[in-house]
Chain A
Amino acid sequence: MKKLIGLCIVVALLSTGAPVAAKKEADVKAPPVLAEADRATPDGRLVLSNLYQREIETSVFVDPVARTPYGGTGWYGGWGWIRGIENNNQDVIAARLVAAAERNAVPVRTALSDFDTNTLALATTKAALAKPDWFQARGVTGSSDVFAISKADFLAQNAAAQIAFVRYRYDLSPDFTQIRVLAMLSIERQQLGKDGKPAGQPVAIYRQNIMSIAQMRAPSYEARDNAKRWAADNGKLAKAALTAAFGQFERLIPFALGLSQAQLTAFNDKNSTKAFAGGYYGTLVARDADQPDAVLIWKNGLVHVQPVG
């Protein structure tokens, strides 16, 4: 049960604000803009590209349960008991939602079982990082399993002034209307000893999250029906959505790496032009010239939404 609740919290965080949530996981606060002085690296950068999962994840929307007006800790803790009961109600509802989402995801997972998302993720990273001239990716190491190459092992084995990490997660939105891919970018400056080998903890100098969402056109209000549409014809639509969502990173990652402080300040300006897309509300960055329904916004990170189907 506890595991289920833990999973629920993770997926809820991912569903409500993945760019924000993933940012909070960061061990070190790093800016979302790469300083000009850090761009040039004479020896190039090493890159580790990870896909964190073997199958598509689910997410749930857990709305707050009804509360009595006197929750809290007053009256010698009596109201606190009530709050405890209410919180437990929410946990029970969340656990059942997770179970339902997992059931609904079965046909999508089955249809995607022959789809090589790992290779797609690695190819995406390679294509995206080859675009900025200044980036100079020396080599891209891929790993579908986070435990196969731990960060510490990778750093110990590789000497480079800077190492870039591109980590991906993908999931279905709570109502199964979207397939979402989150890319977590970070660059660390490695401390090298006199012998040229890594020494000491690397310093994070850049961190940014990008969400690429493929949104089903004219979806149903029922998650089960949407799951069937994703899975139909051996997962044709789900595969197209994943391909389209990953494909956007080939443009979004270079764009994110090239952002300047002035652009970031403009994105965070509370008077900026706002847009709503894919469940996110943030500063409108651009609408796609070739796809009028597709939009790029900034909500503590880049969020791109495009229709599929």
Chain B
Amino acid sequence: MKLSLSLAAAATMVAALGVSASAQETPAASPAVEPGCELHVFPSLEGKAMTTGWLSGFGVIGAVADAAKNKNRNISEAEYLKEALGPRLQVQALKGIDLPAQLKLPPSKVVYETAIADRNITTKAATRLSSSTAPCYAELIVTQNFYTKKAIYGRSLNNRFVFKDFRTGKDKATLVKGRGGNGLSAFPPKTTDETEAAETDLRSAFAKNFVEFAKGVTPAK
């Protein structure tokens, strides 16, 4: 390594760079021709759960009682969500979808990256989060995994996403933020027999949430 002290020189070196160090898989959208575009996907490490019941409608004491009553449930469900919809399983769910088509991108090589813990980076950084210099480049970042159970609305999975389209040729992209939320019917499982159905339900809701988000994404101009 030769450390260059000049930022200008460093910037020049950026342009000479190639492949992402953390890239995990690179399945091509089209097996025949390697697409020139790249979509880098960053799953989330997050897993939050919150159950609220009827007690929350009865003022301060009711809300405190509700929080205390559901304390253990919120802990165990957050932990279960992290297991059942961790980065590996998010990637598995997203592999069942034609991500470039949903995001209105040309056929692209989809690169799954390691999850980024720091929300300040995932929700604020406007530059590329990989070392790829491909001119046709975009990023999809999952920033939230949130299970809720409410007395009136029932169980649902909410996800937040960030999409960054660098096809304009600029170093910085606009962060297109959005969310998707869909109901759950089998998650969390009540018995171990229901585990598989519950996890399928969860991943299906996650995929639907992405599709919901993608509908609102418009290509960068």
Contact = CB atoms under 8 A, between A and B. Distances in A.
A89 B1 contact: no
Interface stretch (A30-38, A44-52, A163-171, A272-280): A272-280
A274 B127 contact: yes
Contacts, number: 164
A193 interface: no
Contacts of A296: 1, 3
A85 B67 CA distance: 7
Interface string B117-161: 110110001011111000000000000001010000000000000
Interface stretch (A2-10, A137-145, A215-223, A231-239): A215-223
Nearest to B112: A221
A256 B27 CA distance: 40
B220 interface: no
Given A88-B71, A292-B16, A305 B21 contact: yes
A177 B22 contact: yes
Contacts of B60: 75-76, 78-79
A89 B7 contact: no
Nearest to A75: B60
A77 to B, nearest CB: 9
Contacts of A275: 14, 127, 131
Main secondary structure of the interface of A (DSSP, over half): mixed
- Which bracket fits the contact residues of B? 35 or more
B103 interface: no
A218 B75 contact: no
Q: Which of A217, A288, A293 has the most chain B CB within a 10 Å cutoff?
A: A293
Interface string A279-309: 1010111111111111110000000010100
B3 A61 contact: no
A82 B67 contact: yes
Nearest to B7: A266
A287 B13 contact: yes
B14 A287 contact: yes
A68 interface: yes
A186 interface: no
A285 B3 contact: yes
A222 B49 CA distance: 21
Contacts of B16: 287, 292
19 contacts: A61-B117, A66-B74, A89-B71, A89-B78, A218-B23, A219-B114, A221-B24, A221-B86, A273-B14, A273-B171, A275-B14, A284-B7, A285-B7, A287-B10, A287-B16, A289-B13, A290-B2, A293-B21, A296-B1
Interface of A: 15-16, 61, 63-66, 68, 70, 75-76, 78-79, 81-82, 85-86, 88-89, 92-93, 96, 174-175, 177, 215, 217-222, 248, 251, 255, 263, 266, 272-277, 279, 281, 283-296, 305, 307
The 7 closest A-B CB pairs, nearest first, are A78-B60, A221-B88, A66-B50, A288-B1, A66-B48, A293-B21, A221-B87
